[in-house]
Chain A
Amino acid sequence: MNIPYVVEEREDTGLINSKLGIWIFLASEVMLFGGLFSAYIFLRMAALPGDFERWASELSVPMATVNTVVLISSSVSMVMAWASLKMKDFSKYKMYLGITIFCSFVFLTIKYFEYSGKFAHDIYPSSNTFMAIYFTLTGLHVLHIIGGLVVMLYFYFPISHKMWDKQPEQFTNRIEVFGLYWHFVDLVWIFLFPVLYLL
């Protein structure tokens, strides 16, 4: 069985299968987070005036700022990893993907300290609707980071070298498609940061 348009693009659509697939997947992700963001708006409109602002001030803006920088850097290194593959430089790819993996570990670590800081002050999802939506949104985002991390580790381990040797073009496409996902996760954070920490 040979499925067409796995590596080469279809002429009339100009796409490979996996790229169209990931965009449709991301559309559904937009609807998932869109649903949660509208829940946020709904709850904020229903809350007592000043309630959300007061609880939001419990969050640590410096930690989130550092995390924003970390995540944006990881997006840049992701692009560089893909570009290195395009230039047929596998060792550079490894370095840049390594940086991306490192960044996501840093993000998770900072997030861990943020969460445990909240728990130490007896702040839980059950404390208030702001905290509830904060933990749900960031928790779901963290799950997306962890999912991405698993995929990146898979592409980092030695097995990746075999895939690269066998089918370099397909491997490059895989990294590109994964990169799209990773940028999306990054983009979600770009929305989460101002909505939860700053507004």
Chain B
Amino acid sequence: MYSNSNNHDHHEENFIQKYIFSVDHKVIGIQYGITSLLFLLFGFSLMAIMRWQLAYPGTEIPIVGFIFGEGGVLASEQYNSLGAMHGTIMIFLGIVPLAVGAFGNYLVPLQIGAVDMAFPKLNAASYWTYFVGGVIMISSFFMPEGAARSGWTSYPPLSVFENGQTIWLISMIFLITSSLLGSMNIIVTIVQLRVPGLTWMRLPLFTWAQFVTSFLLVLAFPPLEAAAVLQLMDRVAGTSFFLPSGLVMSGEIVDIAGGGSPLLWQHLFWFLAHPEVYVLILPALGIVGEILANNTRKPIWGFKSIVYSMVFLGFCSFIVWAHHMFLTGMGQAMSAFFQTTTMIISIPSVVILTSYFLSLWGGSIRFNTPMLFALAFLPMFGIGGLTGLPLGLAASDIYLHDTYYVIGHFHYVVAPGTIFALFAGIYYWFPKITGKRMSETLGKLHFWPSLIFMNGIFMPMFIQGLAGVSRRLADGGVSYAHASGVLQWNEFMSISAFCLGLSQIPFIVNIFMSLFTGEKSDRNPWKSTTIEWDAPSPPLAHVNFDSKITVHRTAYEYSVPGAKEDFIPQTES
């Protein structure tokens, strides 16, 4: 084998440069995409195991039960591990890398007519740092201590003493570094590499969303890195940053210097994690904007208001973090402040969503798969957003805090919200990336069950939450008096979850089938206006475009009266 590889030395090195350690933003974007989709699938599987446990507590887990020791029953500690890892993997290894790493990397240079990102090597470094962080995170399952089990929020003092947390922290430091490198690159690319004529107000919504998102990542992630370093010190060097004096564990006072504060962690953590919510949603809003304009064949309604709202949203997301902490006793003055800012931040979100709804008015809508996902995004994100308001008000949050209502709320935003938008984006840009069309039939087979089962999972969570069922109960609430009236929903939600898993099969089949046998696509299969459709499909390696690009008009000139066709590309003079 060794001699064989020697023979093909030149060829093989070429392959590695081209597909593995590539500095081409398109290859890196695809690498990000594949890795993060696999992580999403993995994170989903963790959840499927948990859902079995919730529906049928104390029974043997089918198929994978042998992993969990004798009898195949999930122990409470293992349930906690799965919960913490589900959250961490979905957010930090799945959605953010897919939305920013994959979509941002692949499309931002194309949408601004650039040959590549501003720093191609840094871009590759960003992917490989993410990859290493992901490997470390997954490896924690095989460590003697097991994976982290203190929730994705890692609240101390529990997280300082609980097993598995050290690996989690080290992995997080890698992931934070990766997103820092990536987002820095996106900002510089957008500011510096726009083609002539592409002024700020001519940028498509997707690029605007990536721009704001990148600022959030650059500015919000470092405080979490600081917090991770402090927690690492608490675990490894025996400091007490997050440990108060006189802390009692198992009936005994813990031997520590004390003087720290668990609240400090919560402040530092949520200072990241609230902007993080907007990191999850902004790229989705950008993708949906592109697809809505394209498939209603109309300019997007209120383009400027949407852009200003995105920027305002980004800014405001830094001053709402403590609405996650109303129950910590931080004081009423603080609660009042953060409740006010939280109500204010809902305004730009509503402006964006309303503009999108108004964009549909009077359009001749094409109901293709990307459009279906984008249309479903609107009410799903609406439900997610509106159910957030009672959580943002201190008085009602006292009742709802840490119940299944919260789980329902943020999953509506992220799962049928962001993930649907990302699916829409995959269906929409697949022809550009591969040069092949995806199957519409399989796409619809993917969409309709996904929509139904997503709601089947998350809608009952509101019912359970309003009844007072706490989150993170390893038995799903069997031992919990409040839950007795709403316990029957557990099985319903779990079956929906398993069916949701099955409805992803058409998607996976569609990707591979289209890749090999799909209908060939031309440059602009959707008759779209933005610049990426001026490049060949797939775009040329390293240079993207085969002609010189100059921009003459705004991003969404559809159905212009008097024009030959119902769209005018940005590059047409």
Contacts and interface: CB of A to CB of B under 8 A. Distances in A.
Interface of A: 1-5, 10, 13, 15, 17-18, 20-21, 24-25, 27-29, 31-36, 38-39, 42-43, 46-48, 51, 124-129, 132-133, 135-136, 140
B58 interface: no
Interface in B527-573: 542-543
Nearest to B257: A128
A81 to B, nearest CB: 23
A46 B259 contact: yes
The range of chain B's interface size is: 35 or more
Interface in B231-268: 233, 237-241, 256-257, 259-261, 263-264, 267-268
A69 B239 CA distance: 31
B229 A140 contact: yes
Contacts of A5: 118, 192-193
A129 B257 contact: yes
A29 B240 CA distance: 24
Nearest to A33: B226
Which of A10, A24, A36 gathers most chain B CB within 10 Å? A24
A28 B184 contact: yes
Nearest to A11: B196
A27 B543 CA distance: 31
Decide if the interface of chain A is mainly helix, strand, loop or mixed. helix
A2 B227 CA distance: 40
Contacts of A27: 218-219
Given A24-B187, A129-B260, A43 B226 contact: no
Contacts of A127: 257
Contacts of B271: 35
A163 to B, nearest CB: 15
B116 A32 contact: no
Nearest to A17: B118
A43 B264 contact: yes
Nearest to B223: A35
B188 A20 contact: yes
A35 B321 CA distance: 14
Interface string B63-76: 00000000000000
A10 B189 CA distance: 12
Contacts of B118: 3, 5, 17, 21
B397 interface: no
Which 8 pairs from chain A and chain B are nearest by CB? Answer: A35-B226, A35-B223, A126-B238, A132-B239, A32-B222, A31-B222, A1-B542, A129-B259
Nearest to B243: A129
